A and B are shown apart, each in its own frame.
Chain A
Amino acid sequence: GQNIDQPTEMTATEGAIVQINCTYQTSGFNGLFWYQQHAGEAPTFLSYNVLDGLEEKGRFSSFLSRSKGYSYLLLKELQMKDSASYLCAVKGETGGFKTIFGAGTRLFVKA
C-alpha cells in the first residue's frame, strides 16, 4: 500500500534548529513536497525534491533519499511564527498526477 509517516507533534525552542522527518512508501515517485499549514489556513508550498540531496532555501532546507524512502525538513533559527503543521507529500507515478499527503507534523515553538 501507499503510506507516508511523519511524527505527530514536535516542540522546539525559539532560535534553535529542528528536523522533521518523513518516510514514505508509494507506487512510483515523481517528487516530494513540503508544505506549511497554519491552523485553519491553506497549506503553502515550502520545497520540492525530486533528486537525492539537500535543497536549501533561506532558513528552510529539505533533504531526500529515494533509496531509503526518506526526507527531512530542517528549520533553522526558529521563530514563533514557525509554529504550524508541516505536511510531507509525495507525487506518485501513476499518471504523474496524484499527490499523497502525510497527516502532518504539528510544530510548537516556545520562547
Chain B
Amino acid sequence: DGGITQSPKYLFRKEGQNVTLSCEQNLNHDAMYWYRQDPGQGLRLIYYSQIVNDFQKGDIAEGYSVSREKKESFPLTVTSAQKNPTAFYLCASSIDRVSTEAFFGQGTRLTVV
C-alpha cells in the first residue's frame, strides 16, 4: 500500500537534546513538507522540499533542520535551539508543488521535559 509514514508516534526527550523525526513516503511524490500543529492554531510550515537535495525554510524554521538525500525520505531534526519544541509534528507530501492535494502522515507527538 502506498502512503506516508512517520515514526515514532510519540517521542519524549530531555530539554537540550536534539531529536530527529522520521518521514518516509512510497508515493513517488516530489514535494514533501513538515508542519507543526499547536492547540488552537493552524498548521504552520517548518520546511518544505520540492525535489531531492533541495529544501526551503517555511514560516517557522528557526531551531529546526532537514535533509532530502532521497526522494522517499525527509527527516526533521528538532535542535536544542528550538525554544518551545513540544508539539504535534505532521509530515506531508504531494505529487509536486502545484498539486491540489497533500497526503499527511499520522504525526509525531514530541514532548520535551
Contacts and interface: CB of A to CB of B under 8 A. Distances in A.
Interface of A: 4, 8, 30-31, 33, 40-45, 48, 50, 87, 89, 91, 95-104
A41 to B, nearest CB: 6
Contacts, number: 54
Contact of B97 (A48, A89, A97): A97
Given A43-B90, A101-B42, A48 B104 contact: no
B106 A41 contact: yes
Contacts of A98: 45, 48, 58
B29 interface: no
Interface of B: 31, 35, 40-45, 48, 50, 58, 88, 90, 97-98, 100-107, 109
B106 A42 contact: yes
A42 B102 contact: no
A44 B97 contact: no
